[in-house]
Amino acid sequence: MRERLYLYDTTLRDGQQTQGVQFSVAEKRMIAQALDALGVDYIEGGWPGANPTDSEFFAARPPTRAVMAAFGMTKRIGRSVENDDVLAMVLDAGTPAVCLVGKTHEFHVTTALGCTLEENREAIAQSVAHLVRRGREALFDAEHFFDGYRANPAYALDCLRAAHDAGARWLVLCDTNGGTLPAEVGRVVSEVIAAGIPGERLGIHCHDDTGTAVACSLAAIDAGVRQVQGTLNGLGERCGNANLVSLIPTLLLKEPYASRYETGVSHEALAGILKTSRVLDDILNRVPVRAAPYVGASAFAHKAGLHASAILKDPATYEHVPPETVGNARVIPMSNQAGQSNLRARLMQAGLAVDPKDPRLGRILEVVKEREDQGYAYDGAQASFELLARRALGQCPEFFEVKRYRVTVERRKNKYDRMISLSEAVVVVKIGGRKMLSVSESMDETGTDRGPVNALAKALAKDLGPYQACIDSMKLVDFKVRITQGGTEAVTRVIIDSEDDEGRRWSTVGVSPNIVDASFEALLDAIQWKLIRDLGQPVQEAAE
Amino acid sequence: MRERLYLYDTTLRDGQQTQGVQFSVAEKRMIAQALDALGVDYIEGGWPGANPTDSEFFAARPPTRAVMAAFGMTKRIGRSVENDDVLAMVLDAGTPAVCLVGKTHEFHVTTALGCTLEENREAIAQSVAHLVRRGREALFDAEHFFDGYRANPAYALDCLRAAHDAGARWLVLCDTNGGTLPAEVGRVVSEVIAAGIPGERLGIHCHDDTGTAVACSLAAIDAGVRQVQGTLNGLGERCGNANLVSLIPTLLLKEPYASRYETGVSHEALAGILKTSRVLDDILNRVPVRAAPYVGASAFAHKAGLHASAILKDPATYEHVPPETVGNARVIPMSNQAGQSNLRARLMQAGLAVDPKDPRLGRILEVVKEREDQGYAYDGAQASFELLARRALGQCPEFFEVKRYRVTVERRKNKYDRMISLSEAVVVVKIGGRKMLSVSESMDETGTDRGPVNALAKALAKDLGPYQACIDSMKLVDFKVRITQGGTEAVTRVIIDSEDDEGRRWSTVGVSPNIVDASFEALLDAIQWKLIRDLGQPVQEAAE
């Protein structure tokens, strides 16, 4: 019988403490749903009352199988639990679980709170009892527990006991400053359990300030805690929290954890963890970390020649777990064996049947590799991938040719002496034998300048002759810009999502050191894909 | 008396196994010099004979205080040590130390090498003896040691003994596949020492495939090894090697390591480790990882309001080590979660003392909130925040005024009938009473078009009259673009990181529906911040 280990995610609360991160309500909902699909046991949604976004999220929180928790702090000194408005707002969020942070370090009690040790202990006990009376699953987040235990073990334990005796389901040992190392975490947890607090009531919350948050969490599990807190991709204040995307595969795939513990994450869900990790990267517009354990693009890449040849004989020679268990794939630079069946499946999806022996398959893989080295990314731009393959297969008709374009961005004072900006674009295309010039500016209906890419898109779509009707039914719905690596230089990658009247949605990619150029490339691909889908072949016209 | 712990860097060898990394000889020399200044004991320079760059590096290796090591493998089966040309090339590099990798896992011996266990053991013994006879300090890199020990402990130990008895100074336990967890590393090391191999002859070499390479290295030290291998910034095959930039500060600053061990790194050198880390990022043209332990830009950033107010009373409340010990600095970012105490702390850091009762504090917070609603984000753009506050406090002198600018992006065929793109920018500024026009284009030294923002930045910085010298010493090091929500419309947020000759780094933000405009705003802030820092006040000039 395996013991149950509980996973508590705090991406939406502690993760939001990351410098530069501020989730919208819609993003919080997306993340909560991704976490729920993964199978974590608890989702900490934020601190109701602390900011408008968190309050709004809880007001209409998405239904989840995971237990939703609201975060807050123990009642303030000198008030009763009933008269603490900060605590009231946390309870008003109506979540089944509530986690309250409280002091357990005597130094923080006397200097930060400025009260007696006993007053703080009472505040913990009363706050937890209050949650329990209201029928909530109560968690006590023991702030600075390890530092506090080092300074005054008896008092730190007293605080835990106060929460325990008041009915807290979980006492979470929090290494707030992130400075405790794995060996000490293990030792302190053992001492806490030896002092009478049962391990099945203990949780662990680690930060990565020494690069050991995952190891500290494992050390705590080894010593007996049964709840682990962390975040997706290790997001969190300063150096981040324990990375659940690293921890979960270890708990499910590696010994002694795999045979000793059971979590809420199934092996099927584990195979989706790479995608869960990417959901967060997409929301933050971050480039996924290539070297990330388990889910990084390089995690199963075998560059050394000796390694690669051994891998061909038996992958276990240089892989500690099979890549597919976490939704990842082996990368062997010298062999495109594995790539070809993948490629054929993707071509089939685009309606392009290719014989397995067709030598053009190898050529397509080469082109994809070359272009990925330049900074292209085809996973998020299926339509551009399809066009690339069509070109290699000679199945990509040319509907029109762009001869040249020019965009001007100007910022100056208008006649009312106010600074205004305006962009103007000229595009010259050749359709059949006809040359067509179009010009557009970037002002929208409200008089706002929407910038050079907008002007260019409007000019390009303004007069495409026989294709105009087809283009008119499409619109640009999203535009993602990322600075990435192209060879040794930074380049701009633009991904454009388009949509048409029939509700079809497709994505295209452009790459260039020049952002306008990258955008234009993605725009052209978007139009090209639509024309192939709707018309198949260019309209026959007599050349002028 | 503290025990000596030896640091062995393999950035130039295992680090080069990273996907996409290929150092030039000049870069190898730069990295070797940075490592030597830091104070590591050994620098592994590469595998002489394995590729032209490594051979060339050794042929003219820079003089270092650190012991230079060449990497290679034990002699091949069926040849004598004298007749193995691969081994000969390694010795020919003439380094004082040589590290040879060899098999210790029976499965790899029989399948990969295809020889008997005894033949492999003999190859190890003879290869090491060969190095010793040639007067080299010999290291034996025990490949797959932990997996091998799990499979057949007696044989894995036999291989170590063979190298030990042949005179190897160090036997390095290598977790080649990166799958061994810290508890097991500790246990196995203890058993190896209990089996008679002294800890002062043992080294540890870990990979980060489970995110625990640093913790595994610490566990090995706790168990008795006295040499630690790793790389700068954790570079290395797949998920990388143990990160020395995380490990070294822990060993020097944290207990039990600080009082138990001595390394070759002084506390003075430690204060330069942030710069050492950036040297490698610069060479790889990588954006430094914000959340990196100790050296990340966010490692000492306190976003939560509760944390920031306590930090003001005593930094130890939320910092596990003082940031200056590793050359880093405390950051108290602004965000809509933080209140007035964060604001005052942040202003204080910028040299702006404001009375807690000053009503302008409330006004600044309002402006921050308004602008965050428009899409600005200040916790990743400290310098722009400071300027915003200075404007509200009437402490933001105007050095120059931009009257207007115009950027043109053009794509057309050149005289060779190839499509090319080019951007050109004109900027008009007024300094004192003088009006100055500058024009630049976007072509870099290699003939690549770097786009409109590049042209604009060059034109703006081309002629700023009395401020030219100050501006010349700064450069744009990163450029981040994000499409975000400004009110109800999508806008572009640009964050620019700048750096100057003194190694100062600052971030500014611009927001607009027009990406060129957003970039220009961030550029202006970057220059303005630098001028305030360096000059304080505008230069007095007679108006024309």
Task: Give the closest of A73, A449, A478 to B513, CB-based.
Answer: A449
For tokens 């207007």, name the residue. B404
Across the interface, whether the CB atoms of B212 and A212 are under 8 A apart is answered yes
The answer to whether the Cβ–Cβ distance between B239 and A296 falls below 8 Å is yes
How many Å apart are CA A375 and CA A485, to the nearest integer?
6
* Residue in A296, A404, A409 nearest the CB of B516: A409
And the tokens for B153?
């402990």
Q: What mean pLDDT, rounded, does chain B reach? A: 91
Out of A19, A183, A423, name the one closest to residue B303 (CB): A19
Set of chain A residues whose Cβ sits within 8 Å of the Cβ of B178: 320
CA distance to partner chain A, nearest, from residue B494 (Å): 10
Q: Token match 């942030």: residue?
A: B274
Do B208 and A291 lie within an 8 Å CB cutoff? yes
Strand order in the sheet with A505-512: A474-486, A489-500, A505-512
For residue A245, the distance in angstroms to the closest alpha carbon of chain B comes to 10
Chain B positions touching A408 (Cβ under 8 A) are 406-409
Are A410 and B404 a contacting pair at CB < 8 A?
Answer: yes
Q: Which residues of A touch B291 (CB under 8 A)?
A: 18, 208, 234, 238-240
Q: Please write the tens of the pLDDT for every residue from B71-101.
A: 999 999 999 999 999 999 999 999 999 999 9
- CA-nearest residue of chain B to A106? B317
Domain map (residue ranges) of chain B: 3-265, 305-393, 401-535
Inter-chain touch A448–B490, beta carbons under 8 Å: no
- Pairwise CA distance, residues B25 & B28, whole Å: 5
CB contact under 8 A, A320 and B177: yes
Topology at the third CATH level for domain B401-535? Double Stranded RNA Binding Domain (3.30.160)
Give the DSSP per-residue string, B118-164: HHHHHHHHHHHHHHHHTTPEEEEEEETHHHHHHH-HHHHHHHHHHHH
If you measure CA to CA, which chain A residue comes closest to B477?
Answer: A490
* Alpha carbons A454 and A423: distance in angstroms, whole number: 9
Closest residue on chain A to B236 (Cα)? A291
Angle at A9 between CA A7 and CA A13, to 5 degrees: 155
Please work out, in degrees rounded to the nearest 5, the angle formed at the alpha carbon of residue B7 by the alpha carbons of B4 and B9: 170
Residue type, A80: S
**How far is A312 from B66, CA to CA, in rounded Å?**
38
Q: Specify whether the CB–CB gap between B316 and B349 falls below 8 A.
A: no
Query: What's the N-to-C CA distance of chain B in angstroms?
Result: 72
Distance from CA of A495 to the nearest CA of B (A): 11
Cα radius of gyration (chain B): 28
Contact A112 B310 (CB under 8 A): yes
Residues in chain B closer than 8 A to A296 (CB atoms): 239
Span B113-117, mean pLDDT? Answer: 92
Test B238 with A301 for CB contact under 8 angstroms.
Answer: yes
ipTM exceeds 0.85: no
| pLDDT for B374 beyond 90 | no
CB contact under 8 A, A514 and B409: yes
Per CATH, domain A3-265 is 3.20.20.70: yes
Whether B393 has a pLDDT exceeding 80, the answer reads: yes
pLDDT (tens digit per residue) in A149-179: 999 999 999 999 999 999 999 999 999 999 9
Stronger pLDDT, B480 or A173, i.e. the higher one: A173
In terms of Cα–Cα distance, which of A255, A257, A251, A298 is closest to A274?
Answer: A298
Q: Do A112 and B481 touch (CB under 8 A)?
A: no
Whether A442 shows a pLDDT value over 50: the answer reads yes
Selecting from B108, B179, B449 the residue whose C-beta is nearest the C-beta of A514 gives B449
Which pLDDT band holds residue A309 (cuts at 50, 70, 90)? Answer: low
Q: List, for residues A175-189, the tens digit of each pLDDT value.
A: 999 999 999 999 999
Nearest to A517 among B18, B336, B411 (CB): B411
Which residue in chain A is spatially nearest to B375 when comparing CA positions? A22
Taking an 8 Å cut-off on Cβ atoms, the answer to whether B299 and A179 are in contact is no
- Give the pLDDT score at A282: 82
Could you give the angle at the alpha carbon of B178 between the alpha carbons of B175 and B179, nearest 5°? 105
Q: Predicted confidence band at B479 (pLDDT cuts at 50, 70, 90)? A: confident
Question: How close A516 gets to chain B, by Cα (Å)?
Answer: 7
CA A463, CA A367: separation in Å to the nearest integer?
32
Q: Per the CB < 8 Å rule, is A210 touching B214? A: yes
> How far does the CA of residue A161 sit from the closest CA of chain B (Å)?
23
pLDDT category, A73, cuts 50, 70, 90?
very high
Residue A1: Cβ within 10 Å count: 4
Task: Give the count of Cβ contacts less than 8 A between chain A and B.
Answer: 320
To the question of pTM greater than 0.90 for the whole model, the response is no
Q: How far apart are CA A499 and CA B507, in angstroms?
A: 36
Contacts of A209 in chain B (CB under 8 A): 293-294, 299, 320
CA-to-CA distance for B88 and B90, rounded, in angstroms? 5
* Res B65 pLDDT > 50: yes
Query: What is the pLDDT confidence band of residue B448, given thresholds at 50, 70 and 90?
Result: confident
Count of all residues that appear for chain B in the document: 544
Q: Which chain A residues are closer than 8 Å to B181 by Cβ?
A: 215, 218, 250, 254
Say if the Cβ atoms of A20 and B379 lie within 8 Å.
yes
pLDDT at B542: 46
Cβ burial of A32 (10 Å; 0-12, 13-18, 19+) is buried
Distance from CA of A136 to the nearest CA of B (A): 25
Residue range B294-301: mean pLDDT, rounded: 93
Q: What residue in B sits closest to A444 (Cα-Cα)?
A: B513
Q: Cis omega (within 30 of 0) on the bond before B293? A: no
Q: What is the pLDDT of residues A487-516, one digit of tens each?
A: 556 788 888 888 888 878 888 999 998 889
β-bridge partners, A321: none
Asked whether the beta carbons of residue B238 and residue A20 sit closer than 8 angstroms, the reply is: no
d(CA A143, CA A56): 26
d(CA A17, CA A40): 20
Closest Cα to residue A32, out of A211, A247, A385, A276?
Answer: A276
Q: Tell me the chain B residues in contact with residue A318 when contact means C-beta distances shorter than 8 Å.
A: 176-177
Across the range A283-310, mean pLDDT stands at: 81
Identify the residue among A14, A17, A175, A235 best suited for mutation to test binding to B, counting B beta carbons within 10 A and taking the highest.
Answer: A17
* Smallest CA–CA distance from B249 into chain A, residue: A210
Nearest-Cα distance to chain B for A39, in Å, is 20
What contacts A257, CB < 8 A, 6 or more positions away?
A218, A221, A250, A251
